[in-house]
Amino acid sequence: MWKSVSTFVDQYKLIPFNSVVVVGVSGGADSMALLHFLDSMKEARNLTLVVAHIDHMFRGKESEKDMMFVKEQCERRNLLFEGEQIDVTSYKELEKISAQVAARDCRYAFFKKVMEKYGASVLALGHHGDDQVETILMRLGRGSSMKGYAGIFPKRLFNNGHIVRPLLSVTKDEVLAYVKENDVRFRHDPSNDKDMYRRNRVRHHVLPLLKQEFPNLHQKFQSFSEQIQEDEQYLEALTEKEWNTVIKSKEKERVVLNRKPLLLMAKPLQRRGIQLILNYLYNNEIPPSLSSLHIDNFLSLLESEHPSGSLHFPKGLQIIRSYHECILTFDKVESDAYKFHLEVPGVVTLPTGDSIISEIWTHAKQEILQNNQAAFDVSNTSTPLYVRTRMEGDRIKLKGTNGSKKLKSIFIDCKIPKLKRDTWPIIVNENNEILWMPMIKRSSFEATEETVGPVLVITCKMSQKFGRQQENE
């Protein structure tokens, strides 16, 4: 095992010389074998090892004994030790997620904290070749992205450094032979013997049959993983170039996409582009519960003939489509109604950041009014005036016609994004009659060329933007 792992470490440059390495150690055979291996090479590479152990508190006193065992082993080896007990069950119930996902979240948060404490750039974990086979099989079974089908990476970005897995080149049997040969003590977790978890069922019943038929199975799966990773690196670079036309805006927790150019791309680039955006939003830590089904649903939403729709992804990510714009955001989407008294003259600043200004002019010809202004005969305008959001059943008497039209229909006809309709300002008089839909439609209440005398001019300064000016239609 020593030779295989050493070659693998050098091939992928997993353990840099003169580095601080945090080693995730549960106390089981795999992690204790990894710790022994790294401890044996620390002087040659001038490594500082920090052992990190988390007690998930699933097994009461037994898991507490695991932590004490790891701590004692570190004291014997004169290694730095960081241990923590975390009530994962409470976290699981709070977040409404599975026990395995909750344990993973807590574990990696702890590892990150330890790395930052010691300024470590490497986190070493004890996954071996059999784990690689199990992971790829399970992802093929449940569905994943092509990157997901590549399984466990020998080295990947994490925090301000990398996660490395030196034991991927060897099997579980080789690990057990190594600990026996080197008299490495370890603890046994009885939960690994139970078939209540899918991974355990695959490990106990599927993997032995496959290994019997294909003795070098782990090597073939590792080779498959590496080929997928190489292909993905090339296609991701191509995707990033193509997606420059798709991304309209990109913030830390919010990305806005342009639907049209996305749908013109080849399907493989669509999928990879979505995956890249998800990686960005999830900060390269996509939840295990997010699968290929989510990507399929995303594409279906984009391809749908219906102009709007939404999806809810893990950890509160919302996917909101409105016409040819698609928003991915962790922000809570607000659609709170409002109503404000508009003084004459006066200014109202709205929750959206828009502002409505009212002024009295001695006269106003239509040709000098801007698109964001409307004028009303003071003598024929009922006050007080209000700025509010739309209400059920709202209708506007349109300028130049004898009829009225529902605001809902106007928003749809003018392709106003669904998210903006509930906060769009509407100007009404004391009788709740709609005087103006700023930037969209004018009403029959507006002043005409024949109007004589002072006029009320209302100006709308909007932070919201959309593609077409509709007022003059």
Confirm or deny that 31 is annotated as ligand binding: yes
Q: Which residues pair with 52 in a beta bridge?
A: 24, 82
Mapping DSSP to helix (H, G, I), strand (E, B) and coil, where does residue 267 land?
A: helix
**Rounded Cα–Cα distance for residues 328 and 334 (Å):** 15
**Rounded Cα–Cα distance for residues 472 and 238 (Å):** 43
**Rounded Cα–Cα distance for residues 107 and 444 (Å):** 65
Confirm or deny that 443 is annotated as ligand binding: no
Dig out the tokens for 185 from the structure.
């003590």
Say if CB 271 and CB 145 are below 8 A apart: yes
Confirm or deny that 28 is annotated as ligand binding: yes
409: Cβ contacts below 8 Å, ≥ 6 apart: none
Confirm or deny that 29 is annotated as ligand binding: yes
Dihedral angle sign, alpha carbons of residues 203, 209, 215, 218: negative
Q: What is the phi/psi pair of residue 358, to 5°?
A: -115, 135
Say if CB 415 and CB 323 are below 8 A apart: yes
CA dihedral 270, 416, 368, 443 (to 10 degrees): 160
Confirm or deny that 308 is annotated as ligand binding: no
- What are the binding residues for ATP? 26-31
- What are the binding residues? 26-31
